[in-house]
Amino acid sequence: MIQSISSAIFTEHRPVQIIPSVLPADWANMGQCVKDLELAGVDRIQFDVMDGNFVPNLTFGPEMISACRKYCSVPFETQLMVSQYNCETMLEGYVEASKGANGEPGVVIAHAEANVHLHRILGKIRQLGGSPSVALNPHTPMDMVKDVLDMVDHVLVMTVNPGFGGQAYIPTMLNKITQLRKTILDNGYDVDIEVDGGIKADWSLSQCCAAGANCFIAGSGMFAYPTLKEGCDALRKVANDAQNGIIVEK
């Protein structure tokens, strides 16, 4: 692994956030897992919500996520990899389940491809007391969300096709991240960029950070370490280095 010192593309950096996906956790001990993740120093915890329809896999409902709330106070986020019907009918439950320990807004992520009425869904998340975010599959261009950037707190760029953990990072997403960050900066929006899928404490995270992402979701890239703290620290170090111009080359 060669490291080079070069300037990151953007000089205005937003705070780095390390966000584990709980897909690789022991689901029979999820309460203990979110507690351990909090102790490891993560900024937020992501629950991958899959409905067996929008993606070919089935995971957590709002009750399961709410049941974890009493085990930690770190904020939650729910990525709704669900069809429009499920998104609309269960939205309130997911907004509630995502809320913080003191009722503060949790991040609720709607997929651009799943929702014909994306503008309405994002507005509803805010109205219900959530922090709205929009996710883009690898094939979806950033133009698809250009006109909702004023409504969201985050945009999530998928760096794998959604549905499963442990897949290989898709490096061609870097251009989309750069374009998004440029559009956000040019318009003066207050929006974080999240990346999700195959993100590890190596060139994958480093180059996404240099392109303008500041929130890093990692499943296998976090749980592969002997301890969760080591995983969290390794991811954070690569991100901090990248923001300081130390970019890891492939």
Ligand X SMILES: O=C(CO)[C@@H](O)[C@H](O)COP(=O)(O)O
Stretch that binds ligand X, among 29-37, 98-106, 172-180, 190-198 (CB under 6 A): 190-198
Q: Which of 37, 45, 47, 48 binds ligand X (CB under 6 A)?
A: 48
15-34 residues near ligand X, rule: CB under 6 A? 21, 23
Q: How far apart are CA 226 and CA 228, in angstroms?
A: 7
Q: Which is nearer to ligand X, 23 or 208 (CB)?
A: 23
CB of 231 vs ligand X, minimal distance in Å: 11
Number of H helices, E strands in the chain: 8, 10
When asked if residue 198 is in the footprint of ligand X (CB under 6 A), the reply is yes
Helix, strand, coil percentages in the chain from 3-state DSSP, rounded to 5: 40, 20, 40
When asked if residue 83 is in the footprint of ligand X (CB under 6 A), the reply is no
Q: Which is nearer to ligand X, 10 or 221 (CB)?
A: 221
Q: Which is nearer to ligand X, 10 or 47 (CB)?
A: 47
**Interface mask (CB under 6 A) for ligand X, residues 90-129, using x and -?**
----------------------------------------
Q: How far apart are CA 235 and CA 218, in angstroms?
A: 9
- Please answer whether residues 156 and 135 qualify as being in contact, where contact means their C-beta atoms are separated by less than 8 angstroms: yes
Q: How far apart are CA 200 and CA 224, in angstroms?
A: 10
Q: Which of 167, 170, 183, 202 binds ligand X (CB under 6 A)?
A: 167
Q: Which is nearer to ligand X, 164 or 225 (CB)?
A: 164
Element (H, E) at 76: strand 76-81
Tokens in use for 31? Answer: 């309460």
End-to-end CA distance of the chain: 7
- Please answer whether residues 47 and 82 qualify as being in contact, where contact means their C-beta atoms are separated by less than 8 angstroms: no
Q: Which of 196, 209, 211, 241 binds ligand X (CB under 6 A)?
A: 196
When asked if residue 221 is in the footprint of ligand X (CB under 6 A), the reply is yes
